[in-house]
Chain A
């Protein structure tokens, strides 16, 4: 029997091979054909049937695939090939649970099959079923007593603990894991490095540092052989630190410094330990000394030791604090009190290290910065005199550092965290001395590249030390001009650099751009009217910089920001594409351009970016599952909690949730022009009106807000509180969006003729198998409406939406703060809330509810409700109309023209009665920069976009009304038949119709106004093109008429396209609403 099966196997394998090949080649049709061929010969061959199913699935025939697969599953296959094929199938069907079922059945049939059991284990890993993982691993271990199996079981306990909701469960699971390893240790069964690392991980997670210390110092430590050389010592130092054994920690770190004098973490650990020994306790747990700024310096969870960041959060801190109290005294006690201050010893030691390093041909920076770090830490503790005595004067130390390393690009970044310790009165002399280090030509231009770096360092330090804080707007502009000049003058010094390198001088442009933007009023409480002329000039300069330094992403990121400010998202998108953002960057840098494109009505770019972004997030589950399995296979067990944490952080990304919602809203509003289209679009989407699965408390802000360079003094940099406020406003908007989507879905369900129950079951199944959100993480704080029927649900959602918008009142009153340049763009909710558009949706939903009631309960429709809706939408459209008429798109170039500038000079005193601008106008208008700043088109475009979307939602709700009223209208028009039908006052029909007529004519006006603007921009574009944009003055030392031509035309083209799409979108609404006549 066995022999026969074996023969069969090889034949089968040969027959199946072509199917695999076609599948691999992506030719699914051929794969189906090939499978059919095999099945003709051997109709029951399970693997061939599954492979056919897989090919069908990939061809989009999900139902057929499920049928084939279900039949095979029923037969309970146990052969490797079929099971593997099923695994792939279920993975692609997003039904990982099914993989477990299949292997459970198979292992029941063949309980002694090691291979099958290990697949079952991996299947549980895929769905994070830690309990079953553990059981399976133990079954494996009993079957074949191999260490890895045992440790799979150990790690399953660990994960069960780490992911356990309650503290008790966590402790128990971790303790169980520890015991399991302890038993193995006692029996002398520990073999591999991975096992020791797992042991350490378990102890660390529980805060058992004393035990961990004895492991690394004992026999088991010898098993760690493949790690970097400092691994064990770093572990020891970390454990001593956690235990408050400061002397021991200091000793280890001192040795580490001796061997690795450029490895910075050793200095940080050493100096902290020494400070503790001497009784100068660090006030916080922070290991970074006098860190100057909010979010931008110092990663909040950088850990001291070699182990993963998750360790810190999972239990380290609490335990270590306690032990530092109890043990700290012993170590630092009496043996130090009659001796020299340990800080003095440390200072002497660090000085010696520095001396030794200075004999190197190219001295490493670590030893030099180490002394500064100690001095700075002492200053921070108020020990100014001691610092001066032991380390020398801080200013002199910094100066000597700059003397040595000021010609490196990184010099500023190296010392920036120490600048706040420089006394105010030393700043001027300090900068004077730094200036003295710059080799200049007679005209002040740096002599060579090294001098350039020094010059840049000087400018950067001046800015960071507050020297540019008191400049007037005019002086900011002048400073910026001089920096651009400096860039041009030094360009030739770097002409021989490779294309792939960034030019040192690029920093001049960045500094200049920051100054221009400051001078233009960006961030001076003046969010709506930064001077567009300055913005254009900055854009031109940055564009020039990018041509020279193609690799410089700092220039690109800033440029995207500037175009975003202008609302010229076509050009933002062009620059964005040059950044080539991919994969995780779509999350971390999604804030540079995604929603901005949407709001500026650049729907094509928005759809592109959204689609790539969503694709990345959808693949997250699969992309992280396979490595998780690999971690078990290759024994890198300590990475498992990290991978799981990473996966969850991505699936809880706020950006993901936002893009998901915005994409759906776009799908049901932008191109929809009839009710049937809407119903179809809504049914395609995965919206459950009854439940919002968002785990609001777990949403994560994954944006990288540290990537952009800034040299502002600490108080001007992005503050954590600003980021938090920005996040909560984005969350508020997301809540409004999700409620709106659910409202539309509920409305569709209410009016759909098919049984709503069926739909909800299908929705539910679809949802639970979806991988959009981690299907394994139980959603504890997502919320569900308790509504029992569709009408109550709609009413409930309407109330919720109303309440939610009330809670956004705070945003309505204020305009969105412009955050520092490295921060995100202004949050969107202020503008949205200020347009009162949620009211329009709420009112229309109320109309729908009334209409529904009148149809089902023979109630009349109150005219008041319709009137209220009418009032709300009329106001919104009227505001939009005004917005459309004022839109400064066609006039922007003219407003930045030379003539306009001259005009501004003449009428400077009366240019602007906007209070926020008063203070600037006197200075700025002297330049050719500020006249009466025309409002930027961006806000107008955004308002119109929001209006268009809202009208789309209103149209959807009216469409639902229509589908309720139409059958009644039809039946009443048949006259006298069936008097039992719900009575609808004929007045309702008339009112509804007249309402639609008014609304249509209003929207028509809006459309006309947009068309007029469109024509005006087109005319302006043609006119300006003919004149080669001579009217636009973007002259600077770097830019001229050519740049005006390029940027002016690109900008007008961008506006033209935005208007085109807005007009089309409004036209769709018009068509939709017009089609609803009864």
Chain B
């Protein structure tokens, strides 16, 4: 039970209860603003009845030809609102908008160690399309799964045939 609405700049003044979680990165202003300027409909926030930011999703649409797809840039839910299906609701919006934009698929990157997220995405119909080596820098670097879900425009689900070999970050389109 939540209010889903477009993210607004002023939400940044009180998204701390989401962003203080160590797994959620706080970016520079221009990062959020560029998303709001470029793909405003892809940036949605979930708000509790008392006006608390429960979570949000940021995304974009990009790619050419059959690679035209929706991309999940960030999806995060505050600790106390996890396991309530909030991420699913936010993903639904992103997929719905991607359908409307006639995208072929939706994709996202996730740390291979993030079992909880991977399991959730699988439940939502995503498959591991490929592994991207050392995608996340850190000590040590960590691989990412590039997960995908085909949309209705990709009638034969060609976008979700998994690659057999891992790729390097510089090889991602």
* A binding-site residues for B, Cβ under 8 Å: 225-229, 262-265, 268, 288, 291, 297-299, 301-302, 306-309, 362, 364-366, 368-369, 373, 408-410, 413-414, 416-417, 498, 500-502, 550-553, 557, 579-585, 588-589, 619-620, 622-624, 626-628, 630-631, 633-634, 636, 639, 642-643, 645-646, 649-650, 702, 704, 706-707
- B63 in the interface, Cβ–Cβ < 8 Å? no
Q: Is the CB of B13 within 8 A of A588?
A: yes
In the bound assembly, the distance between CA atoms of A650 and B28 in angstroms comes to: 13
Known: A364-B1, A365-B1. Contact between A228 and B8, CB under 8 A?
Answer: no
A544 to B66 CA separation, bound complex (whole angstroms): 53
Interface assignment of B100: CB less than 8 Å from any CB of chain A = yes
- The one of B50, B80, B83 that contacts A297, using a Cβ cutoff of 8 Å: B50
B85 contacts A413, C-beta separation under 8 Å? no
B20 close to A579 (CB less than 8 A)? yes
Q: Which of A373, A582, A626 contacts B34 (CB 8 A)?
A: A626
Do A707 and B37 have beta carbons less than 8 Å apart?
no
**Which chain B residues numbered 36 to 75 have a C-beta less than 8 Å away from chain A?**
36-38, 40-41, 44, 47-52
Q: Can you report 14 residue pairs joining A to B where beta carbons are below 8 Å apart?
A: A227-B41, A265-B4, A268-B49, A414-B1, A500-B22, A501-B79, A553-B21, A585-B26, A589-B16, A620-B29, A626-B34, A642-B10, A643-B33, A707-B17
The 8 A-B residue pairs with the shortest CB-CB distance in the complex, in nearest-first order: A299-B51, A627-B33, A366-B1, A553-B20, A646-B9, A630-B37, A365-B1, A623-B29
Given contacts A226-B41, A308-B8, A410-B81, 16 further A-B pairs with CB under 8 A are: A226-B100, A228-B97, A265-B4, A288-B50, A288-B51, A362-B85, A369-B1, A408-B84, A413-B48, A551-B22, A584-B12, A588-B13, A589-B16, A622-B30, A624-B33, A704-B14
CB within 8 Å of A: which residues of B? Answer: 1-6, 8-10, 12-14, 16-17, 19-23, 26-30, 33-34, 36-38, 40-41, 44, 47-52, 79-85, 89, 93, 96-97, 100-101, 115-116
Residues of B close to A228: CB separation below 8 A: 4, 6, 41, 44, 93, 96-97
**Residues of chain B with a CB closer than 8 A to A581's CB:** 26
Contacts of A229 in B (CB 8 A): 96
Do A410 and B37 contact each other (CB < 8 Å), given the known contacts A297-B51, A309-B10? no
- CA–CA, A306 and B40, complex, Å: 12
CB of B22 within 8 A of CB of A263, answer no
Q: How far is the CB of B149 from chain A (nearest CB, A)?
A: 18
Q: Kindly identify which residue among A268, A368, A550, A626 contacts B30, using a CB–CB cutoff of 8 Å.
A: A626
Taking a contact as CB atoms closer than 8 A, the residue among A288, A409, A639 that contacts B37 in the complex is: A639
Q: How far is the CB of B156 from chain A (nearest CB, A)?
A: 25
Contact B2 A263 (CB under 8 A): yes
Chain A min CB distance to B102 (Å): 10
Minimum Cβ distance to chain B for residue A982 (Å): 56
A627 to B33 alpha-carbon distance, docked (Å): 6
B47 contact from A225, A302, A410, Cβ within 8 A:
A302
* Nearest CB in chain B: distance from A622 CB, A: 8
Q: Which residue of B13, B22, B33, B116 contacts A702 across the interface (Cβ within 8 Å)? A: B13
Which residues of chain A are within 8 angstroms of B14 by Cβ–Cβ distance? 299, 588, 704, 706-707
Does A413 contact B50, Cβ atoms closer than 8 Å? yes
Contact of A414 among B10, B17, B41, B49 (CB under 8 A): B49
Are A704 and B13 in touch, CB under 8 angstroms? Answer: yes
With known contacts A369-B49, A414-B49, A626-B30, A502–B16 Cβ distance under 8 A: no
Complex-state Cα separation, A416 to B49, whole angstroms: 10
Bound complex: CA A704 to CA B51 (Å): 13
Q: Would you call A500 and B23 a contact (CB within 8 A)?
A: yes
Contacts of A582 in B (CB 8 A): 26
Residue of chain A at shortest CB distance from B28: A583
Chain B residues near A622: list those with CB within 8 A.
30
The answer to whether A584 touches B13 (Cβ under 8 A) is yes
Measured CB to CB, the closest approach of chain A to B61, in angstroms, equals 9
B83 nearest in chain A by CB position: A408
CB–CB B2/A264 < 8 A:
yes
B101 touches A226 (CB 8 A): yes
Q: Is the CB of B10 within 8 A of A646?
A: yes
Question: Are B21 and A551 interface neighbours, CB within 8 A?
Answer: yes
Chain A nearest CB: distance from B163 CB in Å?
Answer: 28
A748, B31: Cα distance in complex, Å = 43
A993 to chain B minimum Cβ distance, whole angstroms, is 55
Given contacts A228-B93, A636-B37, A704-B16, contact A263 B4 (CB under 8 A): yes
Per the bound structure, the CA–CA distance linking A649 and B84 in Å amounts to 34
Q: Are A264's CB and B3's CB within 8 A? A: yes
Q: Report yes or no: A410 in contact with B26, Cβ–Cβ below 8 A.
A: no
Chain B residues with CB under 8 A of A706 = 14, 17, 52
User: Would you call B38 and A298 a contact (CB within 8 A)?
Assistant: no
Most buried by B among A299, A373, A408, A589: A299
Q: A229-B96, A631-B37 are in contact. Are A643 and B26 (CB under 8 A)?
A: no
Interfacial chain B residues near A646, Cβ < 8 Å: 9-10, 12, 33
State whether A623 touches B37 (Cβ < 8 A).
Answer: no
CB pair B1–A264 under 8 Å, yes or no, is: yes
* Cα separation A636 to B16 with both chains bound (whole Å): 26
Task: Give A626 to B9 CA distance when docked, in angstroms.
Answer: 15
Task: Point out the residues of chain A lying under 8 angstroms from B6, CB to CB.
Answer: 228, 306-308
- Say yes or no: A636 contacts B1, CB within 8 Å: no
- What's the minimum C-beta distance from A55 to chain B, rounded to whole angstroms? 23
A922 vs chain B, min Cβ distance (A): 39
A707–B51 CA distance with the chains assembled, in angstroms: 12
Known: A227-B41, A410-B80, A583-B26. A416 touches B50 (CB 8 A): yes
Q: How far is the CA of A309 from the CA of B20 in the complex (A)?
A: 24
Question: Which chain A residues border B2 with CB–CB below 8 Å?
Answer: 262-264, 366
**Residues in B whose Cβ lies below 8 Å from that of A626:** 30, 33-34
CB of B119 to closest CB in A, whole Å: 12
- In the bound complex, residues from chain B placing their C-beta under 8 Å from that of A416 are 50
Distance of B45 from chain A, by nearest CB (Å) = 11
A417 touches B37 (CB 8 A): no
Residues of chain B with a CB closer than 8 A to A362's CB: 85
Q: Which residues in B have their C-beta under 8 angstroms from that of A627?
A: 30, 33-34, 36-37
Contact between A265 and B5 (Cβ–Cβ < 8 Å)? yes
Task: Specify the chain A residue showing the minimal Cβ separation from B16.
Answer: A707
Known contacts A226-B101, A362-B85, A583-B29, A642 near B52 by CB under 8 Å: no
- Measured CA separation A620–B13 after assembly (Å): 14
> Knowing A417-B49, A646-B9 touch, does A624 contact B29 (C-beta < 8 A)?
yes
In the bound assembly, the distance between CA atoms of A301 and B20 in angstroms comes to: 23
Given A553-B21, A627-B34, A707-B14, CB of A417 within 8 Å of CB of B50: yes
Q: What B residues does A707 contact at CB under 8 A? A: 14, 16-17, 20
Residue of A nearest to B22 (CB): A551
Q: How far is the CA of A309 from the CA of B50 in the complex (A)?
A: 16
Instruction: For A307, give the chain B residue with the smallest CB separation.
Output: B6
CA of A226 to CA of B40 in the docked complex: distance in angstroms?
10
Q: Are A630 and B29 neighbours in the complex by a CB distance under 8 Å?
A: no
Q: How far is the CA of A1077 from the CA of B118 in the complex (A)?
A: 74
A306-B6, A584-B13, A642-B9 given; A636·B36 CB < 8 A: yes
- Complex CA gap A262/B49 in Å reads 11
A92 to chain B, nearest CB (A): 15
- Asked if B52 contacts A227 (CB within 8 A), the reply is no
What is the bound-complex CA distance between A650 and B12, given in angstroms?
11
Within the assembled complex, what's the spacing in Å between the Cα atoms of A309 and B97?
Answer: 22
Contacts of B44 in A (CB 8 A): 228
Query: With the chains together, A408 CA to B83 CA distance in Å?
Result: 9
Q: In the complex, which residues of chain A have a beta carbon less than 8 angstroms from the beta carbon of B96?
A: 228-229
Give chain A nearest CB distance to B98 CB in angstroms.
10
User: How many whole Å from B59's CB to the nearest CB in chain A?
Assistant: 12
How far is the CB of A142 from the nearest CB of chain B, in Å?
26
Q: Please tell me which one of the listed residues B20, B49, B82 contacts residue A264 in the complex, with CB atoms under 8 A apart.
A: B49
A707 and B28 alpha carbons, distance in the complex (Å): 20
Q: Which residues of B contact A557 (CB under 8 A)?
A: 20
Q: Is the CB of A263 within 8 A of B49?
A: no
Contact status of A306 and B5, CB under 8 A, knowing A584-B12, A624-B30, A643-B33 = yes
B120 to chain A, nearest CB (A): 13
